[in-house]
Structure 1
């Protein structure tokens, strides 16, 4: 059973209202109880894509948990006068689960990123989280999904982290979550950040809720993706009017 949480609906996507500490406690308990768990880490871009693709929206709303990974989600919730407790960044959940997994000799399987990044990931996880058992790694450029799914089944991991970007990662999880009684979580570019191939914003930028701006400055190609934010906020404002 999914531990009940209050939810906030933003443009038809239901977000769980939780904190990082509480969410990690929920996940570790579910893993220890061998409960399959599908976690979606959603930002405004994912919400807007879901609004245009109803099948994907249905997939997200049928996950066990959808967490607010993006300051835009926090802003949207405030605009609707249904504030969420805090942003729960997928990367923070990811690293906390790696630490817990290392402390408790759990097994993790990693899917996604470029071949050089996944090779770096294996080295860094082995060094930084020595108690964590690496059940397998697979870069994101595979063509035989059935073979990857079978590798996950054979590894029988406690955690499966998929970093192939949305919507591919959520669709992969939806198709293959039956392969293990594990946590399955889509985490976008987290492998690149953990390996240092992409730099995360300094803590000061994070504290100021400007991590999105830092990433855009470092990767100008992201500005095009950020252009979706004004439309997202406008649509949220319409939802607020309709809710009244």
Structure 2
């Protein structure tokens, strides 16, 4: 990447959210940035960050580096955008499913192709059907399920090779945090695509998991909707990490240096 390209990559400001550098952006600005700078940010990765990710980054210096090293760590969670708006009034949510929808909408005109990595083969099959139905002109370069274990360095290089061989401009990674962001960080510069960690967005877009109503998203109640859907899996996350997030914010947790 040239020095000129590096300046472009670093152009979006970050704001401190419990010590984690979150990109102070909104959906429109995020999409405009990607559209204008796609060639400059190829090989980089985007984190779609929520309160859970922020708490993990706050507590784990290695994961903090992953979040700080992204080309963008966009505010998926409502609390992040609320905190960020104190210094950046235009900051708004950029959720994984909505970001995918908007990029898909733009893709046919721009010729963008997409690789999907993660989840199970059954879930990917359902996603393929949904994509063909909802975005019939979308170019799906390929899909590959997770192996549900960490990849070796050789396997990461081979995956990057398959992504590039498919001609993908975007690689959507659905492994859940922190695995997806760590993988993208490890593969930075190995692929020609832009990697984006989107968690459970594959299941939302396929219809396997219903998306929260807009009014719940607007009022920061998406967590309650998700908890009602998957209480066994999510209760601990919301009880522990959300409580820690609030505590860190109220007590002014120790801040780490914002790199970007």
**TM (normalized to structure 2)?**
0.84
Specify the SS of the correspondent of 2:124. Answer: helix
Deviation at 1:34, TM superposition (A): 6.7
Partner of 2:109: 103
Partner of 2:244: 231
Specify the SS of the correspondent of 1:198. Answer: coil
Cα distance in 2, alignment partners of residues 235 and 207 from structure 1? 23
Residues 153, 179 of structure 1: 8 Å contact kept: no
Partner of 2:183: 172
Cα distance in 2, alignment partners of residues 183 and 50 from structure 1? 22
**TM (normalized to structure 1)?**
0.89
Verify: 1:46 aligned to 2:62, yes or no. no
Partner of 1:55: 62
Verify: 1:162 aligned to 2:167, yes or no. no
Cα distance in 2, alignment partners of residues 173 and 129 from structure 1? 26
Q: What whole-Å deviation, never above 9, does each CA across 1:37-96 have from its counterpart, x for those lacking one?
A: 311111111111112221111121011111111112234446xx4356212212211111
2:87 aligns with one of 82, 85, 96: 82
State the aligned residue count.
240
Deviation at 1:100, TM superposition (A): 1.1
Verify: 1:137 aligned to 2:143, yes or no. yes
The worse-fitting range, judged by mean Cα deviation, of 156-165 and 172-181 is: 172-181
Q: What whole-Å deviation, never above 9, does each CA across 1:179-230 have from its counterpart, x for those lacking one?
A: 3322210000000000011111122222332111111112212122111212
Distance 1:175 1:22, change over 3 A: same
Distance 1:31 1:131, change over 3 A: farther
Verify: 1:118 aligned to 2:124, yes or no. yes
Partner of 2:227: 216
- In structure 2, stretches of 5+ residues that fail to align are 1-7, 256-260
- In structure 1, stretches of 5+ residues that fail to align are none
Residues 76, 93 of structure 2: 8 Å contact kept: yes
Deviation at 1:158, TM superposition (A): 0.7
Residues 46, 196 of structure 2: 8 Å contact kept: yes
Residues 157, 180 of structure 1: 8 Å contact kept: no
Cα distance in 2, alignment partners of residues 240 and 169 from structure 1? 26
